[in-house]
Amino acid sequence: MWKNGKKWVYSISYDEGCELLLQHALDVHRRFDVPGHIALVAGQIGVPRKVPGSSYDGMMILSKDQINMLCREGWGVSCHGMNHISINNDNVKVEVYESRKLLEDTLEMPVTMFCLPGNNDHLSIVRDHAAQAGYTSILTIHDDINTPDSDLLRLCRVPLHSEYPPPFCSAYDPYKRIHQAIDAGGWIIDYAHCPMPGKPIHAQKDCTIKELETRFETIRRIGGDDVWIAEPNEVVDYIIHKKENEK
């Protein structure tokens, strides 16, 4: 059982923290009362994104004041590395340790969650350093639900996409993993980047604003009073405190 007797949990995260979230997605969050979460590249706050080859390269990233405004509305943050690159033994100090300190100093708030940039290939090295670097949890891109017993250093996220590439070609599914979470008493963490009206920036990495609305409406309708809609850091804190109280 989850907080306040809720039976399952729903969260959503956005990688990068594009400023256009304020223009397009924020109103949807407010209308459905769903707090969001942004994974931030520590070295790129309030400046155009600088990740060559990315579909979101050059897009303006949220500023400190904008991020703090979102956090006052119940949103949360995680560290997405210093430069959004693959992490290895040569750069782990910068990408895992120094990135957290810079992000905390910039935002003037604690940051205890790390979000893997790119893919899951460097999960093992980030895990090895997470606790020493001050993190309590890691967001991955393993597509699955989580449970109260899940490894907090391997949290799964469910991608919100308009269409996956061949050979799967799977289209947007507003019900994705909901019934699995209900049956298992689980926790869904959706993730996207920057939903837009009309068509996504990258169909394999994002949904549209209409699809985001449909997702939230579906969560609210099916979840009713049984779903706890929460920012991911809040859920991690709940799990940690619950386990400590059970010792």
Alpha-carbon distance of 173 to 162, in angstroms, equals 8
**Mean pLDDT (whole number) for 99-103:** 98
Nearest to 160 by CA among 114, 117, 209, 118: 209
* pLDDT bracket for residue 167 (50, 70, 90): confident
**Mean pLDDT (whole number) for 3-14:** 97
* pLDDT bracket for residue 144 (50, 70, 90): very high
pLDDT tens readout for residues 15-26:
999 999 999 999
CATH number at residue 42: 3.20.20.370
Global pTM reads: 0.96
pLDDT at 4 over 90: yes
pLDDT at 247 over 80: no
* pLDDT bracket for residue 139 (50, 70, 90): very high
**Mean pLDDT (whole number) for 84-88:** 95
**Mean pLDDT (whole number) for 86-100:** 97
Nearest to 182 by CA among 149, 115, 220, 227: 227
Residue 83: what pLDDT? 95
Half-sphere exposure of residue 220: CA atoms within 13 angstroms, side-chain side: 12
pLDDT at 145 over 90: yes
- Tell me how many domains the chain contains: 1
Residue 169: what pLDDT? 87
Beta-strand (E) ranges in 108-212?
113-115, 137-139, 158-159, 187-192
* pLDDT bracket for residue 245 (50, 70, 90): confident
- Of 167 and 101, the structure prediction assigns the larger pLDDT to 101
**Helix (H) or strand (E) run with residue 181 in it:** helix 178-184
Residue 176 in 3-state DSSP?
coil
Residue 243: what pLDDT? 86
Tokens, residue 55: 């579909």
pLDDT tens readout for residues 173-210:
999 999 999 999 999 999 999 999 999 999 999 999 99
**How confident is the prediction for the chain on average, in pLDDT?**
96
Residue 227: what pLDDT? 98
* pLDDT bracket for residue 149 (50, 70, 90): very high
Residue 53: what pLDDT? 83
* pLDDT bracket for residue 164 (50, 70, 90): confident
Alpha-carbon distance of 45 to 47, in angstroms, equals 6
Enclosing domain of residue 50: 3-246
